[in-house]
Amino acid sequence: MSRSIVVDDQDRWRQITAEEKGLVLVLTHTVQPTPEQLLAARSNGHQVIYAAQSSDVELKRLGQFELEKSLFESGFDEVRASQLAARCRGSDAVLLDSINSVNPAAVLPRPKLPDRVKAALLLIGGWDSRVDGDREAIEVMCGTPYAELEEQFENDSRDPNGMLFSADRKFRLLAPHRDWRRYSHLISDRLIVEYRDLIELALTDDDPTVGLSSTDTWIAQLKGEKREFSGCLRSHLLEGMALASSIPPSDNRSNIDDQFCNRIVTEVLTDASSSRWASLSRHLSILVEAAPLAVLDSIESGLQHDGPMHSLFRGRDADYFATRPHTGVLWALECAAWSARFVRRVCVLLVRLDSICGDLKVMNTPANSFRETLLSEFPQTAADSAVRRDVIKHLLESDFPNAWNLVASLLPTSMGMISVRRKPLWRDSADGWHRSSEDLHGETQWLATETLGHVDNCPSKFRSAVELYDTVHLDVYADFLQSWQRKSQISTGTTRIDDWFGRRSIESPCGWTLPLQRSAQVNVRVLLVLGERSSRK
């Protein structure tokens, strides 16, 4: 598949067979080569798959889930299969162009668009033609009134070799990565200045319905209160930034790079209000791919006293249909956590966010994001076991009161649920990821020892530590209890450890309360463990 090309034009067929060698050429029904042409292609080492005639059967666009599964079963690793399935957006031709090793500039016919328009489309990525702000942005970037451009866009979207895909009066690049390789050299410095201004306008275009209840939001929309630019344009602008900052210099011949993107995002998010963060919530996971350092720095700054993170993560009154803008911050951190470079910093931020969050009655919480990042059975980070252990030790030593419960949640439980996260679309930060630890038993034992061993630093954690009796190895648990027994100078024959056995309930690491019957079961287990260890000696 790495040398496969879809050919849907007779001129393209003649060019490829003459100039290239050793390709797998997949012909559509519009290309009907003669026997002599097939023989010439074969002599150049090409293999040809073609349809003898057209058919009334219309094939459905490829579904992302089914395609990802097929790519994985074909030998692609899980991360690469996920990226390819998401990038091709259901197009089989784009999929083959993404995985082949042939430079598309050498074999694909050029779209019939002016060079400035090609460069502008490359930067904008997509837009909604029904939104006035989007059309004005196109006019500024292309230097031509939109009315003169619309017909060109429609024609290009119908051209098999065009740049655009169109549906419901929305346009987007069909193959962004391929087009960046082909046309990034057309991006002038003047166009970059206009692009920078457009990004700043789009990112500071705050949502007027932020903070409103679901009912008030609906009323505001009826009154015509809306943003200047569409979500379509905003999403594709940021996707273009993420792509430009992540692809190698050989594929990006413009002056838009990682430093350029970090500067823009830093300017937008510096001293940003909670309304600005809430307005960008749904775009933060792609924004962090474009400028990871700028986003992480801004989240850290927002955790300062009375910063925007405090209001975002404060509990709200129940409203089933209300948006939860804090989830965008968590999704951005989860995306950044795939990278071994950023996983420690992300976990530190999640611990701090957990310490300030209010009564969030939702699944998307900093505690759940932390657990799903470092859980040994299914770590959702490319960081290996050694890096994850270093993160846990750092947290227990630097912020024990806030980190201990989160670290304890990483221990095995009889019940639990894990959400599978989206992997980075453009950056390769998830490369090398494995579904589970290579030494799951050893890692669990180490985690139990570290978790219980640090309880000495905080006696108030003893109640939660005792509840871990059925999740850790017997010897590890016995060592922990005997350490507490020596420090408290309590004999194994007594019916109490401190005032533990006088309590009527147990507080678990998850904050739940167990009834008296469960407390009695734990009490018996504590005495049995201590007694068994004593009898061994």
According to the model, what pLDDT value does residue 287 have?
A: 95
* pTM of the predicted structure, to 2 decimals: 0.79
According to the model, what pLDDT value does residue 203 have?
A: 94
Q: Burial level of 298, CB count in 10 A (0-12/13-18/19+)? A: buried
Tokens at residue 384, please? Answer: 């290996």
DSSP strand pairing (170-173 vs 126-128): antiparallel
Residue 479: CB partners within 8 Å, gap ≥ 6? 449, 452
According to the model, what pLDDT value does residue 264 have?
A: 94
Helix 343-356 crosses helix 366-374 at what angle (to 10 degrees)? 150
- Which of 468, 473, 480 is CA-nearest to residue 413? 468
Residue type, 202: A
- Which of 134, 145, 118 is CA-nearest to residue 170? 134
CB distance 299 to 329 below 8 Å? yes
Helix 10-19 crosses helix 35-43 at what angle (to 10 degrees)? 30
CB neighbourhood size of 312 (10 A) = 24
How close are the terminal C-alpha atoms of the chain, in Å? 65
The phi and psi torsions of 224 (rounded to 5 degrees) equal: 90, 15
Sheet strands side by side (includes 126-128): 126-128, 170-173, 164-167
According to the model, what pLDDT value does residue 17 have?
A: 82
According to the model, what pLDDT value does residue 62 have?
A: 72
The sign of the dihedral angle between the CA atoms of 222, 224, 225, 227 is positive
Q: What is the dihedral of CA 477, 481, 484, 485, to 10 degrees?
A: -160
In total, the chain counts a number of residues equal to 537
- Which of 31, 92, 42, 39 is CA-nearest to residue 63? 92
- Which of 97, 96, 146, 103 is CA-nearest to residue 121? 146
Alpha carbons within 13 A on the beta-carbon side of 77 = 10
Cα 341 to the chain's mean position, in Å? 15
Residue 105: CB partners within 8 Å, gap ≥ 6? 181, 182
Tokens at residue 386, please? Answer: 């050694």
Residue 99: CB partners within 8 Å, gap ≥ 6? 1, 2, 4, 84
Nearest-angstrom CA–CA distance, 431 and 91? 24
Q: Which helix (H) or strand (E) holds 48?
A: strand 47-50
The phi and psi torsions of 165 (rounded to 5 degrees) equal: -120, 135
Q: What is the pLDDT along the chain (537 residues), one digit of tens a residue?
A: 557 777 877 887 888 888 788 888 888 777 777 777 877 888 888 888 766 555 565 666 678 888 888 888 888 888 888 888 888 877 777 777 777 655 555 555 567 889 999 999 999 999 999 999 999 999 999 999 999 999 999 999 988 778 899 988 999 998 888 888 889 999 999 999 999 999 999 999 999 888 777 788 878 878 888 899 999 999 999 999 999 998 888 778 888 888 999 999 999 999 999 999 999 999 999 999 999 999 999 999 999 888 999 988 875 555 655 678 889 999 999 999 999 999 999 999 999 999 988 666 777 899 999 999 998 888 999 999 999 999 999 999 998 888 988 988 888 776 667 788 888 988 888 888 877 766 777 787 788 778 777 776 565 666 666 666 556 655 665 666 556 555 554 434 443 344 443 443 444 343 333 343 444 444 445 544 444 444 454
Q: Burial level of 301, CB count in 10 A (0-12/13-18/19+)? A: middle
DSSP strand pairing (126-128 vs 513-514): unpaired
Residue 428: CB partners within 8 Å, gap ≥ 6? 246
Tokens at residue 303, please? Answer: 């955790």
- Which of 497, 492, 499, 500 is CA-nearest to residue 530? 492
The sign of the dihedral angle between the CA atoms of 256, 259, 265, 266 is negative
- Which of 336, 254, 329, 262 is CA-nearest to residue 294? 262
Residue type, 462: F
According to the model, what pLDDT value does residue 321 have?
A: 58
CB distance 300 to 332 below 8 Å? no
The sign of the dihedral angle between the CA atoms of 150, 126, 117, 92 is negative
According to the model, what pLDDT value does residue 371 have?
A: 92
